[in-house]
Structure 1
Amino acid sequence: MPENLFEQLPAIDKWLASETGISLTAEFARTEVVDVMREHLNEVREGISNGLTELPDFNSPEYAALIRSDLLRKKSPSLRRIINATGVIIHTNLGRAPLADEAIEAMVRIARGYSNLELDLVSGQRGSRYQHVESLLCRITGAESALVVNNCAASVVLALSTFASGHEVVISRGELVEIGGSFRIPEIISKSTANMVEVGTTNKTRIEDYAAALSSETRVLLSVHPSNYKIIGFSEKTDSRELATLAQQNELIFMQDLGSGALADIKTGVSVTEQLVQKSVADGADILTFSGDKLLGGPQSGIILGRTELIDAIKQNPLLRAFRIDKLSLAALVATLRLYLPPNDPAKKVPVLRMINEEEKSVDRRARNLLRQLRKIPGLTGTVVTDVSYGGGGALPMSEIPTSILRIEMAGMSAGGLARRLRETDPPVIVRVKKDFLIVDPRTVLPEDVNDLVRAFRQIAG
């Protein structure tokens, strides 16, 4: 009877006093062991209620090993290094841009001790954290002045709240985008306490539409990068130079959110529509915002470029303190930006650019080398075929990068089941599943991850 099974469940105190409990509490904190024991007892109670007719042997070595496994899993950090075998280069769910070695080393140097984050070493007086990065950004982009905050959405809110709070922001209906995490441009404009004025249509917005919407309340003309989509076919988009001219003629601010923030040309044959930051500066945008952790290849950050008097005004906004960049991200950003200065070649030094620019024949060679290792695993079969990688992360929308992938099958296991098992390895391996095949794209597998990738498949094969 179920009632008898409930009565046979061990009390926590007695279980702790057993050989199993004594062994576990010698290795783990008593509170940790108690929590896991209670979780197991609750699961068994639920099982009894659902028809379980026999209890497990709670004092067996096998059950002790099961509890120990759960304890070890709970002690491991939830934020972990993973292997990206998806072929999506700037993967938002996987942390976007992997950092260059120089950026990582810069973070470690600053993290180990104190720094002159806000100290002027010449005068000995308080300085500004922004001075460490401003001149670099201006040198690379040609902008008059620069400011960095903790992410791109913050940079948009900060700029709009500085220049358009209580007034109107004019934006094309075709640019009312939703970015990652269900954040929408209309909501961001609202949070900046500005009033949004929509112009044009989804597929066509002309300069005349902007001009017709101007009023005494207008303060900003806003252009936003279409994050994860592209309008094609019967469409028309107003050129940034036209918007800059209209803003200048009416003493308004033309603000352009570039999203990805490309500072260097993409060298592959892929059709790329990302406008370089340098071009937007030259076209006359008054304020530019973009991310530091997408095509730029740095840490999470939001970069604001613009005329000196406008950047100075933003620096006086009280919200800046809430959005300010931390010292480790700042160190990584400075180190990444230096890779864009001669004699460095960012296409070779910045990991995301290196992945995007890697030639297909190079990826194919790596795919075949990887397959030779994997074929030694019993039960695993695979082939190398051509496919496409993706920029991802709101970068290079609809741009497909020619690549070579591995299509893998493992005896007795579905593609979805194998993908799940790979997520359970250490480090977890993230792959794609397509038409009942497991897909591994070497383009996003870092060279130092290859051995761990092969070991993960070996562990699953047993």
Structure 2
Amino acid sequence: MRPPSIDRLARDHAASGLAHPTLVALARRTVAEVAPEAVETTLAAAVAHRLAQRTQEVINGTGVLLHTNLGRAPVDPAPADRYSNLEFDLSGGKRGPRAAAVTDLATVLTGAEAALVVNNCAAAVMLALAAVAGGGGVIVSRGELVEIGGGFRIPDVLAQSGASLVEVGTTNRTKPADVIAAFERAPGDGPPVTMVLKVHQSNYRIVGFTESVSVAEARELAPEDVIVMADLGSGLLDARCRWLPGGPPAWLVDEPGVAQVIADGADLVAVSCDKLMGGPQAGLLVGRADLIARCARHPLMRALRCGGATLAALEHTLGAYAARDLDALVFWSLATEPVEALAGRADALARRVAAARVIDTVATTGGGTLPGAEIPSVGLALPGDHAAALRAADPPVIARQADGDTIVDLRTVFADQDDHLGSALNAVLSGSADR
């Protein structure tokens, strides 16, 4: 059997919206890999798969607010794709500092002397260790030698930065005496200690017979020339949550804020911007002006810096905190929507979708933050497993399964998506009935 025309195959799928060169490449690959009689169906599946890989809006019905696979914190769209004064001083007419508006806002909100923006929190930690630890010893509690998603391990990062790890304490208990002993170790035991690194347990918990050394205690114990740094990966700017009319919600109890850790004496603090901060993927490093300046001058800085769209989105986020504009803080608006409001939306949807029933659910923050925290929520339950069919909707709906039902949690669904959600649920149930 003669192979079909590559050009004809590509043109048959022109309505998909994929660029013609992409369709040609898919067609060539398909013709080369499968038998002629299977080309049409295989190519159709390949085109569908490529379409599904494009970045697009989805309806997050999982109840996970900071879903890593769905982009973590939802943020407003980037500004128009035009020129900006990214590194241009409009008043002086010459090159200006990059991200000045962002760093000014960060210092106002946290009380730090200076700030720096990089592409994520891991980059902020790596840069700080490389720039200011000076190849010396870095004290880390054994209970804080964490690994996060993607294989980011504190011992590995320390090794890459040129610093030496000084482990203290045990998995569950680190005492002030353990830190003091590390400062007093013999010269032959390794380079002198130049930093104490506190790593917040943002994606795990050690409970029971535990003890730890706080940032304030570390600053009091450490010699004046030793830097105390905190890695607050979860990214809460201020534990007082002044942007929330009712103050901190119950599920946020004991979560440290950057402003409080700076006030406790940390010389440097690294945080994620796309977690509890609710901004774009970026890392914020705040602290002493002289240390931030050293980080800014380090050769790694250029490799780790953010682009203009990220900086603009972060400026928008931090500006909303400064203005206490809850509506502009999308993550917090979703996380604190009253259960009664969710129940009203669920009832309206259930009236549209006959097979759906309203249920109480529990949402989570996700994204490596607040393990075990539970946020009361409301959802819809559909009998049977419809997850795959919902993913094929336009826009796709991401749901979860539990006890033989498909669950859509409204805590993570925007109110203006309810109409699309109702249509998708009805379409899926109608398709199930037809089968």
TM-score (norm 2): 0.88
Alignment-derived partner of residue 344 in structure 2: 365
Note if 1:90 corresponds to 2:58. Answer: no
CA contact (8 A) 2:26 2:47 kept: no
Among 311, 319, 328, the residue aligned to 1:349 = 328
Alignment-derived partner of residue 437 in structure 1: 405
Note closer, same or farther for the CA distance 1:77–1:280 as it changes in structure 2 (3 Å cut). same
Note if 1:262 corresponds to 2:236. Answer: yes
1:96-245 matches, cutoff 5 A: 96-100=72-76, 104=77, 107-109=78-80, 111=81, 113-214=82-183, 215=185, 217-245=192-220
**CA distance in 2 between partners of 1:34 and 1:204 (Å):** 58
Q: Helix, strand or coil: the match of 1:311?
A: helix
Q: One-letter code of the match for 1:97?
A: A
Alignment-derived partner of residue 370 in structure 2: 396
Note if 1:253 corresponds to 2:232. Answer: no
CA contact (8 A) 1:431 1:439 kept: yes
Q: Helix, strand or coil: the match of 1:134?
A: helix
Name the count of aligned residue pairs: 414
1:166, CA displacement in angstroms? Answer: 2.2
Note closer, same or farther for the CA distance 1:366–1:40 as it changes in structure 2 (3 Å cut). farther
**CA distance in 1 between partners of 2:23 and 2:227 (Å):** 57
Alignment-derived partner of residue 422 in structure 2: 454
1:196, CA displacement in angstroms? Answer: 0.8
Give the greater-gyration-radius structure (CA): 1
CA contact (8 A) 1:166 1:194 kept: yes
Among 299, 314, 317, the residue aligned to 1:336 = 317
Deviations, residues 207-230 of structure 1 (Å, cap 9, x unaligned): 211111125611110001113111
1:34, CA displacement in angstroms? Answer: 7.2
Q: Helix, strand or coil: the match of 1:305?
A: strand
Alignment-derived partner of residue 281 in structure 1: 262
Alignment-derived partner of residue 188 in structure 2: none
Note if 1:427 corresponds to 2:427. Answer: no
Deviations, residues 62-105 of structure 1 (Å, cap 9, x unaligned): x68x85575465356522221110000011111000014xxx3x
Deviations, residues 272-330 of structure 1 (Å, cap 9, x unaligned): 23111110111110000001111111111100111111111111101000001110000
1:424, CA displacement in angstroms? Answer: 2.1
1:405, CA displacement in angstroms? Answer: 2.1
Deviations, residues 39-63 of structure 1 (Å, cap 9, x unaligned): 2684448xxxxxxxxx67x8xxxx6
CA contact (8 A) 2:365 2:373 kept: yes
TM-score (norm 1): 0.83
| Root mean square deviation, CA, Å | 2.6
Alignment-derived partner of residue 2 in structure 2: 11
Identical positions, percent? 40
Q: Which runs of 5+ in 1 are unaligned?
A: 1-9, 46-54, 376-380
Q: Helix, strand or coil: the match of 2:126?
A: helix
1:399-414 matches, cutoff 5 A: 399-409=373-383, 414=384
Alignment-derived partner of residue 5 in structure 1: none
